[in-house]
A and B are shown apart, each in its own frame.
Chain A
Amino acid sequence: MRLENTTMREFMRNKLVSVARRDDETILVHAVLDDSIYSLEIDLTVTIDNLVCTSIVGRWLRWTTPECPRALDFLGEAAGFCLAAGIEDTIHKTIGRKSCRHYANLLIECAHAAREAVKIINQQKDGGNNSRSLLATATHKPAAPSIAADSSPQPGSATPIPPFTAPANQKPESSRTTTAARMRQDKQAGPFIIDLHVHTSPASPCASASAETMIEEAMRIGLDGICLTDHNHVWTAEQIETLRQQYDFVILRGNEIVTNQGDMLVFGFDEDIQGVIKLEELKRRVAAAGGFLAAAHPFRGFLTFGAGDVGLTTDQAIGREMFRFVDAIEARNGKVTDKENGLAAEVAERLNLPATGGSDAHDETTVGVYATRFDQPINNETELVAALKAGRYKPVAFR
């Protein structure tokens, strides 16, 4: 038989998860991931009544870097996890980051399989009756999941952000001129460097340092100001004013909002957007509010892991729809490669759009890696938006 016009598979991944009952209280989960790059397996024991993983063992069959085997040392941290719905984020953050993302991926499959198996066990107990209520029992997120080895936020319950109350005698006003601002005004007109992209904890669940820590570090390294741009989180004018007074430092607020075309930094816009919004709609709302919108790290991850080999040209890059809706492009971002920043800078130049810089810091060690250099001192949000619209700035490597 002659094969014609056939193509080779570029990639193949198979995952197999089997669940058997060990005794009345426990199930055994065995899982294998075998793909074109990796091969690994894990064995778990899981309690039936509360879906807690009581033991976990992993084995590498194939791996890539010389250091991959170290991942096994951290797999044990999954012992104690409650594998109920909602555990995925915790698995990514602990097993994925400390151990290996592929072990995390397989453990998520195990959690799914364990939940389905428990539904079936419950149904069998019930003799096949009332299966939908039993399904719900095994599906719903637990009220108090047991994560013995992890103190990170529990699945299904977002970390509450502590209330932040300005002192009673303090009149909040985001555009008010503070002592620090007056000092800036005294400073002769000249370069004024602000990190325009900073995340803090707990406002951004992915950040590990508080706003106070980030501000102290920004002051220590000599920045003139920072802008807090937490993910889909609106800092109130009162909160920012309190921080300004506490530190006598230029602290501004922005927001990093998820759109269907990627993350966008907005300034002078305090609407609380949750979930994913269409970029076109966000642009409309920001413009109506008199704000400013910049594409955050527009080529993040684009030129790594072989994607850079696909031959994206600058001409093709500038054709991306997102650039029709943005006021600026973040062309220096601390979390992407030099090549990706370089492409963003080239696109900004070709489109005649201004370019900003920001660290995208999630902890204090990276505040100020990149920042934006303005011609004139900036004291408040109103001045920031005006300066951004005027276009007299450029991204700089600071730290």
Chain B
Amino acid sequence: MSNNILIFSMNRNTSVEKINDQMLESVCRLTDTVTNAEIRIRVKMPDLEISAIDGFFHHTYFEPVDNLQARLQHVVGTRVGAGMLKIIKGLIGSDDNLEQVVYMVEECCHGIILSLTRKVLLKAPDDEPGKVRFYSDMVQNSIRLYDRCAAFAKGGPLVRELEAAAEKTTGAPR
């Protein structure tokens, strides 16, 4: 067998569009060697709740998902935000042929969050000291970021002030 011929190729695209001031739509499309699928959600603002969902999922080997549309409707009302994955998984199901469906719903939700994140990040200054200040303030205001990735890891430059403040308050390192 030639080494240069691809065995498998996957494209996953997620996009978010503003329908109007009260509604965002997020679509995840998956095309790979054996799959053709799409999940589309609408999210009500500012509640960030899923107000509508539909989609399809075709896989070469898996049997079609029973009652996919009905299963998807279970997540209507779920809020896009922290802790959503376990709720989505619990409501749709965790069978092997649902793994990708759940993941695509999650991708749609992440798209919504990242579209909001992008607007915040656009406010970051261009200069390096300004950026350090901007992201230090961000982690101070969003404590869940602390120690959740390399950028905000314990002892790092972006959390130095936060750790110093905690030490001053509690007398012990954070």
Query: A: which residues have CB within 8 A of B?
Result: 7-23, 27, 35-37, 64-68, 70-71, 73-74, 85, 96-101, 105, 109, 112-113, 116-117, 119-121, 131-132, 135, 139, 258-263, 275-276, 300-302, 304-307, 309-313, 316, 320-321, 335-339, 365, 399
Interchain CA distance A65-B136 in the complex, whole Å: 10
**A20 in contact with B5 (CB, 8 Å):** yes
The prevalent SS among residues of B at the interface is: mixed
Closest 9 CB pairs of A and B: A276-B90, A306-B116, A11-B115, A301-B82, A310-B46, A67-B151, A117-B8, A11-B16, A70-B150
CB of B153 within 8 A of CB of A70, answer: yes
A41 to B149, CA, bound (A): 17
Chain A: minimal CB distance from B33 (Å):
7
Q: A18-B9, A100-B150 are in contact. Are A305 and B113 (CB under 8 A)?
A: yes
Chain B residues near A66: list those with CB within 8 A: 128, 131-132, 135, 157-158
Can you give 29 contacting A-B residue pairs, CB < 8 Å? A10-B16, A10-B18, A10-B118, A11-B15, A11-B115, A12-B13, A12-B16, A16-B11, A17-B9, A27-B7, A36-B118, A65-B152, A67-B156, A71-B149, A97-B147, A98-B149, A100-B149, A101-B148, A109-B10, A120-B33, A260-B91, A262-B87, A276-B89, A306-B117, A306-B120, A309-B119, A311-B46, A312-B47, A365-B174
Count of CB-CB pairs between chains A and B under 8 Å:
227
A16, A71, A116, A117 pick with most chain B CB within 10 angstroms: A116
Interface residues of B in 26-75 (CB under 8 A from A): 32-34, 45-48, 61-62, 74
Residue of B nearest to A276 (CB): B90
Cβ contact of A19, chosen from B6, B114, B121, cutoff 8 A: B6
Q: For the complex, give the distance between the alpha carbons of A17 and B12 in Å.
A: 9
* Interface contact B47-A73, CB-CB below 8 Å: no
When C-beta atoms are compared, the residue in chain B nearest to A306 turns out to be B116
| A-side contacts of B107, CB under 8 Å | 13
Specify which chain B residues have a CB less than 8 angstroms from the CB of A399 in the assembled complex. Answer: 170
Whole-angstrom distance between the Cβ of B89 and the nearest chain A Cβ: 8
User: Assuming A99-B149, A119-B61, is B83 touching A300 (CB within 8 A)?
Assistant: yes
Check B118 against A263 for contact (C-beta < 8 Å). no
Closest Cβ of chain B to A263, distance in Å, is 6
- Residue from B1, B103, B114 in contact with A35 in the complex, judged by beta carbons closer than 8 Å: B114
Min CB distance, A366 to chain B, in Å?
A: 9
**B24 within 8 A of partner (CB):** yes
Residue with the greatest number of chain B CB neighbours at <10 A, chosen from A11, A120, A131, A262:
A11
Chain B, Cβ-Cβ closest to A22: B3
Residues in B whose Cβ lies below 8 Å from that of A121:
7
In the complex, which residues of chain A have a beta carbon less than 8 angstroms from the beta carbon of B96? 85, 139
B34 and A71 contact, CB distance less than 8 A: no
12 more contacts with CB within 8 A, not counting A258-B83, A300-B81, are: A8-B18, A21-B5, A22-B3, A37-B121, A68-B150, A71-B151, A117-B7, A258-B86, A260-B91, A275-B90, A306-B120, A307-B81
